[in-house]
Amino acid sequence: MTKLSVNINKIATLRNARGGNVPDLLKVAKDIESFGGQGITVHPRPDERHIRYQDARNLAPIIQTEFNIEGNPVSQFVDLVLEVKPTQVTLVPDAPDAITSNAGWDTITHQDYLRDIIATFKGAGIRTSIFLDPDPRYIESAASTGTDRIELYTEAYAAGYANGDEKCIKPFYDTAVAAHQAGLGINAGHDLNLENIAFFKQEIPNLLEVSIGHALISESLYLGLENVVSMYLRKLQ
């Protein structure tokens, strides 16, 4: 079964909009685990507009499943990850002012940089993953960095599937096959939702984990958080 890691950035956005501690981020994380979620993901950004760095510190001791911290490995982020020691760190090349992640790494150009960062995290016993566009050309250089996994950036899949184009899955399939052959684990995330997740899971071999936040929280406004988590888990079986 592919694991479901729930990104709770949007819970923090809602909390921050009003101030105070409603909704309670820590309680939501614990509830998601009790509903069957198999991981919690956060993506702190330098301006802390949703997840705050202190949130990551507060979450670490209470998460019983897996804790995944995503972000661009600037010095502040690296220090946070080494302090918190999550299960997994996912490296994302997003600009500080990016509304959301919008590209994967060029692992050919940034191979040496990624190798050094990844060695630092792995030396601390933290599993590493590289956010990657669906392009098999990047797999050899990704593997050379020493990363444990890649995370397929799935925005293009979501857009294609919504338009009825099931052929949009091919570059993701090709990249996943190449990654598995190179000894890399395969994660995926971005714009995955209840409508497109089952086909993606069906077509991508050796898919270990998906990280879903915006869609899952939005769907929960109508269907309820516990129900939506269960719906994703059924589709990922």
Active-site positions read: 43, 70, 190
Q: How far is CA 33 from CA 66, 89, 186, in A?
A: 10, 19, 22
In 113-130, which positions are buried (b, 16+ CB within 10 angstroms) versus exposed (e)? Answer: ebbebbebbeeeebbbbb
CB-count exposure of residue 85 (10 Å: 0-12, 13-18, 19+): middle
DSSP string, 219-233: HHHHH-HHHHHHHHH
Exposure b/e, 149-162, CB count within 10 A at least 16 = b: bbbbbbbbbbebbe
Cα–Cα distance measured from residue 234 to residue 237, given in angstroms and rounded to the nearest whole number: 5
How much is the CA Rg of the chain, to the nearest whole Å? 17
d(CA 119, CA 78): 12
Backbone torsions φ then ψ of 171, nearest 5 degrees: -65, -30
Which DSSP category does 189 fall into? E
The span from the CA of 129 to the CA of 91, in Å, is 6
